[in-house]
Amino acid sequence: MLVHAVMDLLRGSLTVVPEKDERKKEEKRMLMSLEVWSKAQNLLAKLDSHLKGTCTLTELQDLYDRFVTFLEALRVEKLPAEFLEIKRNAHKVMRPYHSQTLQLVSQCRTLAGYFLKYNNAKNLEALVAALEAAVNALKEATNAINKIEQHTESAAAVKAFANARAEIEKCFKQYDLESGASERSKNMEMAQKKDKERLEQLNTRFSKGDTSKPASLSLIKVTLKVNGKPDVTYETEDTTALSAILWKRAQNEPSLLQGHFEHIASGKRERERIGHNNQVKQIGGTGSTRILYLVSA
């Protein structure tokens, strides 16, 4: 049985297979190193000696175990491509998944930092699984926003976030970092609560037929201009996030969610970008009216 195990290990380690996947290319590159081939040659020589009766099974087993340990400890020189995918997708996510996304990204960064510090092939699989699940959660959140007809949570996104949390915790366990599990869970629950509260605020502010406004609120009329489309004016609180206006405008045109805002800041002549998380009162202008530009992607 050990002889077959040795042969299977060597075939799997040393067979060169063309790969399009960058991560698999990196793994193959490591396995083709001179150090791996040298140790593999020693193991083959020991196997040959065993078959000829000049090497004991115990000696072969010892060398086999050391070779397996060596392969598991091979260093991976860069993070998996999935980590870059997280960065690419995170900025596309808005309410009601923004706070949860920040927590997810933060946890993935912690895992990535640990991996880079103590990186080896044994740690790679758990990290890839966690990152893949996180990427899927961010994509589901973005898809949910793109398809939105009203401000409600997506069952698919909720499920994807739960799966991502589970895979991330598995990776923390693999890295012996379980001590922070309760704090991570608490932070994510707080993020979920924050996102739900924000969702309720959006629905309240833009619900049809709700024209009652407390006298103490400071209201601003925002004229939203989109190239080639009719202007739309919204009257809302001065503390309303621009993302709320974007959601309202994009209900019938989800593609607009991929755009960005621009305004003419006070004292400036040229338009400049303004983030989705900025408040209405931060749009350039004076008085109770503002002009905001939505530039489609």
The predicted structure's pLDDT at residue 201: 72
Out of 127-131, 179-183, 284-288, 293-297, the most confident range is 127-131
Peptide bond before residue 214 is cis, with ω within 30 degrees of 0 = no
Question: Quick check: is 198 in a domain?
Answer: yes
Residue 276 domain boundaries: 219-295
The predicted structure's pLDDT at residue 13: 46
The predicted structure's pLDDT at residue 180: 85
Question: Quick check: is 162 in a domain?
Answer: yes
Q: What is the rounded distance in angstroms from the CA atom of residue 238 to the CA atom of residue 236?
A: 6
Query: Could you tell me if 199 and 106 lie in one domain?
Result: yes
What pLDDT band is residue 71 in, cutting at 50, 70 and 90?
A: low
Query: Could you tell me if 256 and 237 lie in one domain?
Result: yes
Query: Could you tell me if 57 and 101 lie in one domain?
Result: no
Q: What percent of the chain has pLDDT over 90?
A: 21
The predicted structure's pLDDT at residue 9: 47
Query: Could you tell me if 167 and 249 lie in one domain?
Result: no
Query: Could you tell me if 168 and 117 lie in one domain?
Result: yes
Number of domains in the chain: 3
Average pLDDT on 212-220 reads 62
What pLDDT band is residue 244 in, cutting at 50, 70 and 90?
A: confident
Question: Quick check: is 256 in a domain?
Answer: yes
Residue 172 has pLDDT above 60, yes or no: yes
- Orientation angle between helical segments 57-72 and 2-14, nearest 10 degrees: 30
Query: Could you tell me if 87 and 147 lie in one domain?
Result: yes
Out of 32-41, 159-168, 204-213, the most confident range is 159-168
Query: Could you tell me if 186 and 243 lie in one domain?
Result: no
**Within a 10 A sphere around the Cβ of 92, how many other Cβ atoms?**
17
The burial of 52, by beta-carbon neighbours within 10 Å (0-12 exposed, 13-18 middle, 19 or more buried), is given as: exposed
Average pLDDT on 83-90 reads 81
